[in-house]
A and B are shown apart, each in its own frame.
Chain A
Amino acid sequence: MKILVPVKRVVDYNVRVRVRADGSGIETGNVKMSMNPFDEIALEEAVRLKEKGIATEVLAVSIGVPQTRDTLRTALAMGADRALLVALPQDAEQDLEPLCVARILAKIADSEKVDLVIAGKQAIDNDMNATGQMLAAALGWGQGTYASAVDVAEGSVQVTREVDGGLQTLRLKIPAVITTDLRLNQPRYVALPAIMKAKKKTIEDIPLETLGIDITPRLEILKTVEPPTRQAGVKVHSVDELLSKLKTEAGVL
C-alpha cells in the first residue's frame, strides 16, 4: 500500500504572528517556518503503518516556495521514503487556495498510483480545513476527516472521527482520504542519525507547468487585522459580587 502525505510549510506554532503593516497578510519574512503540526501527525501515522508492515511506501508531497525543501527534508528524516516538491516561484505571495492544492494532489495521487492519502485536517496558518475534503471529491474517493484512530484492514480502513458529543466510526473502501485530528498520535522527535540519512536522499521536482493546473486565485483577501487586545481583568471581592457581575455586566447568567 502506498500512502501520500501532503506537508505544508507554515509559520512555526511558537512564533507570535504579526500582521503586515498594510494589512495584506501576515509577516513571513525572517520568521521561523516549520511543518504544519497536523501534517506531522499525518506523517507519523503513515510511517507507523509502514513500520507495521501495512504500508510499503510513504510519499511526502509539498507545494510551495523553494525553501519548502526544508520541510520535505524533515519529512524524510521523520521516515518518508520519497519527497516530491511542486515548486512555486520565490515571489509566490499568497498561499495556494485549497481547490488548487487539491487538484495538484489529485494529479499526483493518480500518477503515483497512491492507495491512501493521510493529510492534516487543516493548516495552522489559514485554518481553511478544506483541502482533504476537496481532494476526496476530486479523486472520487471516500473521506474520513478529523481522525482520532485509523485501522487498516484488507481493502478498507476504519476511521474513528472526533465529532461534537462523541466519536463516530466509519469504514472506508481503499483508496481513501483521511484527515488527522490532534489526538491521533504523538509525532516522534526526529533522531539525529535520521537527519543525516535524509540529507542523502533526493527531493524530486515536479514542475508546476507539467501538471496543467490553473492556480489563479479565485478568492480575494480584503484585509488582515490583529485580534483585539484582551482587556485587563478585574478582581472581585466576594462570590456575590462575582455573581452580580456575571449577570449584569457579562450577561452570561
Chain B
Amino acid sequence: MFLNETQEEVRATTRSFVNAVVRPAAEALDREERFPAEIYEEMGKLGLFGIAVPEELGGPGFDTLTYAVVMEELSRGYASVADQCGLVELITTLLVRHGTPEQQKLLPSIMSMQQKVAYCITEPEAGTDVSGIRTTAVKDGEGWVLNGGKIWIHNAPVADLGFVLARTDKEAGNRGMSIFIVDLHAKGVERGPKEHKMGQRASQVGALDFQDVRLGPNALLGEMNRGFHMMMSVLDKGRVGIASLAVGIAQAGLEAAVEYAGTRKQFGKHISEFQGVQWLLADMAKDIEAARLLVYAAAMKIDHGLDATRSCSMAKCFAGDMAVARTADAVQVFGGSGYIRGFEVERLYRDAKITQIYEGTNQIQRMIIARELLKKGATA
C-alpha cells in the first residue's frame, strides 16, 4: 500500500538475497566477529551500496523510502550487514552532495567495496556533544596537516578511506569544523585494536590516531568550516536508516517467535495456544508495525522535501526503544533457549541495544523532538 511496484521489487530482490546469503551466515559472523568481505562484494554487485547515488554517477538513484526498505530487509538478515549499507549510504550521500567531480570518482570503488570507508566523528571527549572535538587540520602550503584521534569508528580496523571531521578554526565553534577525505594507509595513521562489542559483532569498530598526517589540496570535502553543517544535513537520512535497521531486527525476532510458539509444546499444547504468549506476540507485531510506519512517514517527508527533522527523530527513537523491548519479548517466548548462544533471538536482543545509542542517543532524539515541539508548536 505504501510502496510502489519498484519499491516492492527492490524489497523482494533484497529479501531473497538476505534469506539465501545473509541470515544463514549471521550466527557464525557474530560468534567469530568476522568482517564478511565476501557478502559485501556480492552486495556491491547487486547495487546495495550507495542506493541513492544518481544514475549519472553510476548508482541506482533510489529515494529515501526505498533505502529504508532495503535497510529493514538487510537487518532482518543481520544488523551488521545493514549497518555497513547505512555507513556507505551516508558517505556516498556526502560525496554526491558536496564532492568535486574529482572526489566523486571515488564513488564506484566505494560502492563496490573495493575501498572501505569510515565516518570519523566521535572522540574520547566528544560523543553526543560533537562541538567538543579536538582533532585539528592546520593549513600547510597547498594542503593540511591532521592531528588527533577518533574512537568507536565503524570499519576503522579495515577501512581504506576516512571521512574525518576536524577543527579548522579554533575560535568559531560549530562553524569551525571541516570534513577531510583521508587515506588511512598514509603515514601517521595508526589504528587501535578492534573492540569486542555486545552486539553487531561483525561490525569492526575501533580507534584511529592521526599524527602529522599530510593531506593534499583535494582532501577537503565541500566548503571549509562547514563540516558540522554538512554532517547534520545527512543526519535525518541516517536516522531513517538506523530506525529501519531497528525495525528489521525486531521483525526477525517476531518471525522467530511466531514460528517457535507454533512448535514448542508445554502442558500438552503448543505455547501459541496460551493467551500469555499470544499477547507477547501481538504486542511485538503492533509495535513493529507502528515503528515501520513512522519510518515510512519520515522517509516520505525527506523525499517530498518537507521538514523531516521531528519525524526522523521520532522514528529513530521509537524504533530503537521498540527493538530493544520487543526482542526481549522474543527471548521470553523462547524461554530458557532464548538466553542461549546460537538461538537467533539471543543475538537479536544484543544487536538491538546499540540502536538506542548510535546516530544520536535516544535522549538526544527526545531533546530534538521536544525542541521542535516547543519551537514550532504541538499541532500535528
Main secondary structure on A side of the interface with B: helix
- Size range of the chain B interface in the assembly: 20 to 34
Q: Is the CB of B5 within 8 A of A193?
A: no
**Across the interface, which residues of B come within 8 angstroms of A236, CB to CB?**
none
Q: Is the CB of B9 within 8 A of A195?
A: yes
Q: Is the CB of A189 within 8 A of B10?
A: no
Query: Known: A34-B12, A195-B10, A195-B13. Is A189-B61 also a contact (CB below 8 A)?
Result: no
Chain B: minimal CB distance from A72 (Å)? 11
Chain A: minimal CB distance from B368 (Å)? 31
A190 to B8, CA, bound (A): 13
Q: Judge if A199 is at the interface, Cβ distance under 8 Å.
A: yes
Q: Is the CB of A196 within 8 A of B60?
A: yes
Q: Is the CB of A77 within 8 A of B9?
A: yes
Q: Is the CB of A73 within 8 A of B9?
A: yes
Q: Judge if B45 is at the interface, Cβ distance under 8 Å.
A: yes
Question: Given B9, B55, B59, which contacts A190 in the complex, CB threshold below 8 Å?
Answer: B9
Chain B: minimal CB distance from A3 (Å)? 23
B1-59 at interface with A (beta carbon < 8 Å): 5-6, 8-10, 12-13, 16-17, 45-48, 51, 55, 59
Query: Known: A73-B5, A199-B6. Is A193-B60 also a contact (CB below 8 A)?
Result: yes
**Across the interface, which residues of A come within 8 angstroms of B51, CB to CB?**
192
Chain B: minimal CB distance from A12 (Å)? 9
> Chain B, 58-76, contact with A by CB distance < 8 Å: what is the 0/1 string?
0111100000001000000
**Chain A residue total in the interface (Cβ 8 A):** 14
Main secondary structure on B side of the interface with A: helix
A190 to B46, CA, bound (A): 7
A89 to B5, CA, bound (A): 20
A74 to B8, CA, bound (A): 11
- How many A-B pairs have beta carbons closer than 8 Å: the answer is 46
A190 to B6, CA, bound (A): 12
Q: Judge if A112 is at the interface, Cβ distance under 8 Å.
A: no
Q: Judge if A15 is at the interface, Cβ distance under 8 Å.
A: no
A92-120 at interface with B (beta carbon < 8 Å): none
A7 to B5, CA, bound (A): 18
**Across the interface, which residues of A come within 8 angstroms of B9, CB to CB?**
70, 73-74, 77, 190, 195
Chain A: minimal CB distance from B27 (Å)? 21
Query: Known: A70-B5, A73-B5, A199-B6. Is A193-B13 also a contact (CB below 8 A)?
Result: no
A174-206 at interface with B (beta carbon < 8 Å): 189-196, 199
Q: Is the CB of A195 within 8 A of B16?
A: no
A194 to B9, CA, bound (A): 11
Chain A: minimal CB distance from B4 (Å)? 10
A212 to B290, CA, bound (A): 51
**Across the interface, which residues of A come within 8 angstroms of B13, CB to CB?**
77, 189-192, 195
Q: Is the CB of B17 within 8 A of A189?
A: yes
Q: Is the CB of B45 within 8 A of A191?
A: yes
Query: Known: A189-B13, A189-B46, A191-B47. Is A196-B5 also a contact (CB below 8 A)?
Result: no
A85 to B48, CA, bound (A): 30
**Across the interface, which residues of B come within 8 angstroms of A193, CB to CB?**
47, 55, 59-60
**Of B12, B45, B51, B61, most A-chain CB atoms within 10 Å:** B12
Chain A: minimal CB distance from B112 (Å)? 12
A193 to B62, CA, bound (A): 9
A34 to B6, CA, bound (A): 14
**Across the interface, which residues of B come within 8 angstroms of A192, CB to CB?**
10, 13, 46-48, 51, 60, 62, 70
**Across the interface, which residues of A come within 8 angstroms of B16, CB to CB?**
189
- Give the residue name and chain of the A residue nearest to B21 (CB): A189
- Give the residue name and chain of the A residue nearest to B111 (CB): A193
A34 to B12, CA, bound (A): 9
- Give the residue name and chain of the B residue nearest to A196 (CB): B60
Q: Is the CB of A196 within 8 A of B62?
A: yes
Chain B: minimal CB distance from A37 (Å)? 11
Chain B: minimal CB distance from A35 (Å)? 10
- Give the residue name and chain of the B residue nearest to A12 (CB): B12
Q: Is the CB of A195 within 8 A of B60?
A: yes
**Across the interface, which residues of A come within 8 angstroms of B70, CB to CB?**
192
**Across the interface, which residues of A come within 8 angstroms of B62, CB to CB?**
192, 196
A74 to B6, CA, bound (A): 10
**Across the interface, which residues of A come within 8 angstroms of B47, CB to CB?**
191-194
- Give the residue name and chain of the A residue nearest to B42 (CB): A189
A77 to B46, CA, bound (A): 12
**Across the interface, which residues of B come within 8 angstroms of A70, CB to CB?**
5, 8-9
A34 to B59, CA, bound (A): 26
A42-99 at interface with B (beta carbon < 8 Å): 70, 73-74, 77
> Chain B, 209-251, contact with A by CB distance < 8 Å: what is the 0/1 string?
0000000000000000000000000000000000000000000
A77 to B8, CA, bound (A): 13
**Across the interface, which residues of A come within 8 angstroms of B46, CB to CB?**
189-192
- Give the residue name and chain of the A residue nearest to B8 (CB): A70
**Across the interface, which residues of B come within 8 angstroms of A191, CB to CB?**
13, 45-47
**Across the interface, which residues of A come within 8 angstroms of B6, CB to CB?**
195-196, 199
A199 to B55, CA, bound (A): 13
Q: Which residues of A contact B (CB under 8 A)?
A: 34, 70, 73-74, 77, 189-196, 199
For the complex of A and B, 10 pairs with smallest distance between CB atoms: A192-B47, A192-B60, A193-B60, A190-B13, A193-B47, A189-B17, A191-B47, A196-B60, A191-B46, A195-B9
Contacts A189-B13, A194-B47, A195-B6 aside, 4 further interface pairs with beta carbons under 8 A come to A192-B10, A192-B60, A192-B62, A195-B60
Q: Which residues of B contact A (CB under 8 A)?
A: 5-6, 8-10, 12-13, 16-17, 45-48, 51, 55, 59-62, 70
Sample of 17 A–B contacts (CB below 8 Å): A70-B5, A70-B8, A73-B5, A74-B9, A189-B46, A191-B46, A192-B46, A192-B48, A192-B51, A192-B60, A192-B70, A193-B55, A193-B59, A193-B60, A195-B10, A195-B13, A196-B61
